[in-house]
Amino acid sequence: MDKQYRAAPRPEPLDQELCALLAGVETATIGHFEFAGFITGGVRPVFPAHAVGRAITVAAPGRDGRVIYMAIDMLEPGDILVIARLDQDEIACVGGGVAAAAKARQAVAIIVDGPCTDPSEIVANGLPVWCRGVSAKTTSRHIQLGGEINYPIACGHAVVMAGDCVLADESGVYVAGPDRMREMAIRAAARQVQSLAVRRHLQAGHSIFDLDRENLS
């Protein structure tokens, strides 16, 4: 690897039992009781999707697209590419080509705290992408500024470590270490069961405060 780029080894795979547990968990449920670990700053899905996977992190500056493709070459089935745009500019480092290459590696999703390009191609490709808007300004693999792969990054105001577990859906993106994610998943799954009863109560025209009085009695 070129001297201006650094890549740490691939992290350990995620426990498939944890991934299965998260299949029915919503980020918004976790958001009821957790405050840290959410990727924000306007990062939204290009199309509604639900994704769970292992974080492969990338620190990508400016118009350097080379580091993105280096990271794609390291992807394994079930990975989510999480990209920090170091300059917070309007340069899109994810487009139709990057999405196609990541899907070919059986990645689960791409998350970037910057814009994407080729949104129609991304939709047609079917690989979920979370990003911050759309831009016609793009990166090039021929521009070499440097970058890092599988080192800690700050993506959308959240710290992301290589090997973290990522849960992403139409409401947002939540990232945590596997042990913490397991705690959140168990708690969220239980809350979602309770929420179904609350939803039925509200759909019947009852007040939410009736439930509070029942809990106090």
Q: What is the pLDDT of residues 40-89, one digit of tens each?
A: 989 999 999 999 999 999 999 999 999 999 999 999 999 999 999 998 88
Contact 25/81 with Cβ under 8 angstroms? no
**Which of 91, 82, 24, 26 shows the shortest CA–CA distance to 62?**
91
200 pLDDT band (50/70/90 cuts)?
confident
- Is residue 176 pLDDT above 60, yes or no? yes
Can you give the pTM of this predicted structure?
0.90
Contact 48/168 with Cβ under 8 angstroms? no
Rounded-to-integer distance, Cα 16 and Cα 13, Å: 9
- Segment 82-102, tens digit of pLDDT: 999 998 889 999 999 999 999
| 21: Cα within 13 Å, side-chain hemisphere | 19
**Which of 33, 52, 21, 36 shows the shortest CA–CA distance to 189?**
21
Looking at the chain, the whole-number percentage of residues with pLDDT higher than 70 is 94
Please state the length of the chain. Answer: 217
